[in-house]
Chain A
Amino acid sequence: MDRRESLKALVLGGVGSSLFLSSCVTDKKSPIAAGDIIEEREGYGRTPAEEERDEDLYSETFFSEEEMATISILSDIIIPEDEESVSATEAGVPEFIEFIVKDIPEHQIPMRGGLMWINRESNKRFEAAFNEISKENQMEIIDNMAYPRAFEENSPGPVFFRNIRNLVVTGYFTSEPGFKYLDYRGNTPNVWDGVPAHVLEKHGMKYDEDLLKVAMDPVTRNEVMDWNKYEV
C-alpha cells in the first residue's frame, strides 16, 4: 500500500484514527512501514476533493504537546467524569479541538492566544506554567475566567473560556459517549406514529380528530398507494 493510499484509509476512519496520525504520521518524511496496523473503515461519503482536504489536515499538527496538555486539563474541568458518563478527554474532545482549529482556522488565534493568556496568568500568580501548578491554583484561575466580575466579562480570560467551552461542549455532545449521556434516540429506522400518548397527556396536548383519520397508518404504510379510491 503506498503512503497516500494508507493515509486515505486512516483519514476515512475519522476521529479515532487522528490519534494514530498525530502520533505517527505527522512527520511527513516517515512512511508507514510495512506491518503497521491500518484499520480500514468505511468513509463518510466524501468527494475526492473533500477526502484530499481531510488528508492534508490530518498531516498537519497545530497545537504543541504543552498546549494539548492544557487543552486536556481544561476539557476535563469543563466536562468531568461523573457517575453517569465519561470525561471530555475520554470522549476524544482534545483531538476534536486539534482537528477543528485546522479545519476552521478562525479558531486558531483565539485558542492559541487564550492558552498564552492562561500561562501568563499562571506565571504571574504562581510563578509556573498552568500545567505545572496545583489543581487548586488551576481552579482559582478557571473560576476567575468562568465567573468574571461584570467589568471583566469581555477581557481575554473570560472570552477565551467561553470559546473553549463551546468547543468542548460541542465536541463532547457530538461524540458517541456524549450521545449516550444525552440519551439521544434518533438516527435509526423506525415508524413515526406521533408523540407517545403519555407524553402528549403530560403536556396537555391532543391530536386533532380529523388529522388522525387521514394520518399515516403504520399498518398499511408499505402498501402501494391506490389512487382509484382517492377523491380530490
Chain B
Amino acid sequence: MNSNGIVNKYSNTPVSKSSDAIFVKTTIPRKREELLKWNGWGYKDSRFLVKDGIIHFSGSRYPIGELSLPYFTQWVEDVLGVDLSKPHTSKDQPVEEECPYPLISNDNYKQIVHLNVPFSTKGIDRLMRAHGHTVYDIYTLKESFFDRIPDVVLWPSCHGDVVKIVDAADKNNMVVIPFGGGTSVTGAVECPKDEMRTIISLDTSQMNKILWVDRENLVICCESGIIGQDLERELHTMGFTVGHEPDSYEFSSLGGWVATRASGMKKNTYGNIEDLLVHVKMVTPKGVLEKNCQVPRMSCGPDFNHIVLGSEGCLGVITEVILKIRPLPKMKKYGSVVFPDFESGVRCMREVAKQRCQPASIRLMDNAQFKFGQSLRPVPGYFGLIFDGLKKLYIKKIKGFNFDSICVMTLLFEGDVKDVQMQEKKIYEIGSKFGGIPAGQTNGERGYMLTFVIAYIRDLGLEFNVLAESFETSVPWDRAVSLCRNVKYVVGEECKKLNIEHYLMAARVTQTYDAGCVIYFYFGYNYSNIKNPVEVYEQIEEKARDEIIESGGSISHHHGVGKIRRKWYPGTISAIGVQLFKATKQELDPRNVFACGNILKSKL
C-alpha cells in the first residue's frame, strides 16, 4: 500500500540492480531427480545398503560414507527384528504415461505460456513437487501413487515473476502452491485431493540470488529460493554465516524456513528464523505485504512479520528476505557428557538454560537413542573408543552407570578460542553437578554428524518392513520428563494393542529456552504383520500428539501444522484465534488461490 492507501500490486521498494546481486550456483538442479532420489531422502549416491549381510553407507559426502556398520546391523536385527536377507523392492520411477494428465484448460495454458516464465507439465517434474517427506509421502512414492499432483510447475526467477504468476492465478481461478526445498514433514506441499482447479507448483529454486550484502548492519538480502547449503557456502567465502541450520538445511529453502517458522540447531548463538529475519516481502493476491524500513525492531501495532512467518503457503509467496549475518566463528568444537539417566540430563539442561550459558547447540539423547547412536559407529578404530574397552568399564564399574539408563548430552561450541574454552568449562562444571562426566569430542561430533545421516535410514527401513518417523514438541521445563514418559507409555500401549512387537521409541531434547525445551521423538516399527502400515503409524502418532498436548506440550515447535496437525489447531489457539486466521486469509486471498489447505482446511 502506498501513502495514499492505494494498494500497489508491485513492491514499493526499488528493484535491486542486478550487478549487486550474487548469482548463486544452485546445488539442486531443476531436474531434481538427477541429483536427488525420486522416492526417498537426499542424494542418490548416498544411502544405506546391505552388502554380505552387513549394512554399509555409500558415497563420500558424509563421514560414514563407504564404511561397514556391523554394530548397526546387529542393532536393527535385535531392536527392530529385521531380516536383512529379505529385502523388499519398491516401485520403479513412473514413466510419463503413468502420471495423471494435467488439469489445465486451454485458456489457462495460454495464460501460463503468456507469463513468459519457464514451466513444465512433465509428469516427473510434477511428481517431484507433489510431496514433502512425511512417511506417508515416501511410502506412497514407493508403493502407489498420489491422488492428486500439481498440473504445472513454474520456475519464477525473481519477485516480479511471482507477482505475475499470482496475479494470473487469481484472475483465472488457478491454485498456487509454493514449493521451496520440498522437505516439509507436515503434508504442507501436498495437493488437496479434491481440488479440481489447475494447481501450479511455484518452485522457488531459481529465485536464489543474494541480492545484496550490508556489512555495516550485518544483514543480507536474499531471494527466498536459496537453499541452506548454498547460502552458507557463499557467505563463508565472504567470512560470514547466517548460522541457521535446520537438520534439513542441505535441501530446505529460505522461503520454506520463513513459511514454517523453522528452527536451526544453532539457534542458541544465532536465533531461530524469526530472530534472524529483519525484513520480508510476501506476494499475496491483494498485493505485497512488507515494511518500509530495515530496522532491528519497531513498535508499530501487531507485527505483521508474524503473519508471514508460519503462513505455510496459505497466504502468499515469500519472495525476498533480509536476514542477519554474523562473522564466521574462529573455532568450532564438539563435546559430550554422559549422565546416569535421562532425568539428570534434563536437570542439567535446565540449569544450563537458567544460567543462559548454552553453547551453539546442546542436545540430550535418551537411552534408546544413545544406544542407537552407539550402534552407528564403524568397526573400532575409526571413531575412537569412547564406549569400548576401558572407558566403558570405567563408566559402568566406577561410576556405577547402568548401560540401560545412561544418556548423553552432545555439545557444539562456536566462537573465539577463549570463549569456547570458557563455555566448555562452565558446561562441564554444571554437568558434573548433575552426575555427568565428559565423554569427549568424538562422541559429540558423531552425534551431530548423525543428524544428517539419520534421515537416510528411513529408506533402508522401508526395504525391510520398518517404518520410521519423527515428531517434535515444545514443553515447559517442569513437564519435560513427564511428557516424555507419558508419550512413550502411550506409544508402547498402542503397539501392544496393535501387536507390534518390534519398535523403537526414542526421545531427545534438542533445544533449550528460558522457559522450556524442545523434545524430538523418533518412532519406528516393524510392520511385517500389519496390512496398512502408514495408517497404523498415523493412528499411533495421533495418540502420541494427543498425549503430548495433554502433557503440557505444544502442537509443534518447528515443523508446523501443515495438513497432518490441523486437528489440534483450534484447540491450541482458541475459537477466536481461528476466526482471526480465517479473516486474515479472507482479506489476503479471498479467492483462495493459496488453497493448499494447511493449518485450517480451506473452503473450496
Partners in one complex: no
B-side interface residues toward A, CB under 8 Å?
A: none
